Amino acid sequence: MRPIMSHKRVLYGYWRSSATYRVRIALNLKHLAYEQHLIHLLNNGGEQHLPLFSSINPNELVPVLIDGEVTLNQSLAIMDYLDEVYPQFPLIPKDLKSRYLVKALAQDIAVDIHPLNNLRVLQYLADDVGIETEQKQRWIQHWITQGFHALEKNLASTAGAYSVGNSITLVDLCLVPQVYNAERFNVDVSTFPTIDRVVQALRSHPAFIDAAPENQPDAN
């Protein structure tokens, strides 16, 4: 299937941003072509703070998707939009129970786990609070591990081949980037067997491979 590009579609992001990573996977699964505008979150004091990007997203966070006349930030909102406008390869089930189960599990990752190891939180802890690198590592490991303990229990009852049954859903798009973050900070993901099994399966899918941080043009 050829990528769909009926109008200009641009994704502003950073190779290691897990929120951007989620959106890249969604675009790939739906075969939606897009241009990448690279925002380096560390260079020049953080390019997300420069006036050009700040005028697009005053929150100064990635990702931002421009799809024709639509401009959206927040990865969960972007993926919800993509699922509604481009229904091929649905990410959210149609039946009521499964729909909100998937949304809740995705938010367990994107709302509860991810923000506590986000770059601006870590920069504040280091620059303003003055914690050392080793303390910062323990902070990250603590919150990811605590979140994964709960998530593992949930997925043990919902998982089939993937996080919820045998179809890729929004949960999987949040899970793989969060495990990438966990591995960066030396969290032993093998202690969460359901999470580990599902992620290993997803990492063999072409849409996930193409979206992986190390395969992005700004990877360094």
CB 20 within 8 A of CB 27: no
Q: What is the mean pLDDT of the chain?
A: 95
The superfamily CATH assigns to domain 9-90 is: Glutaredoxin (3.40.30.10)
The per-residue pLDDT for range 75-87, each reduced to its tens digit, is 999 999 999 999 9
DSSP 3-state of 65: strand
**Strand-strand pairing, 35-38 and 64-67:** unpaired
Q: Given this model, what pLDDT does residue 7 score?
A: 79
pLDDT band at 1 (very low <50, low <70, confident <90, very high): very low
Domain boundaries along the sequence of the chain: 9-90, 96-207
The class that CATH gives domain 96-207 is mainly alpha
The per-residue pLDDT for range 86-130, each reduced to its tens digit, is 999 999 999 999 999 999 999 999 999 999 988 899 899 989 999
Q: How far apart are CA 184 and CA 197, in angstroms?
A: 18
pTM: 0.95
The per-residue pLDDT for range 4-58, each reduced to its tens digit, is 556 789 999 999 999 999 999 999 999 999 999 999 999 999 999 999 999 999 9
Q: Side chain identity at 123, as an amino acid letter? A: Q
147's tokens: 């979140």
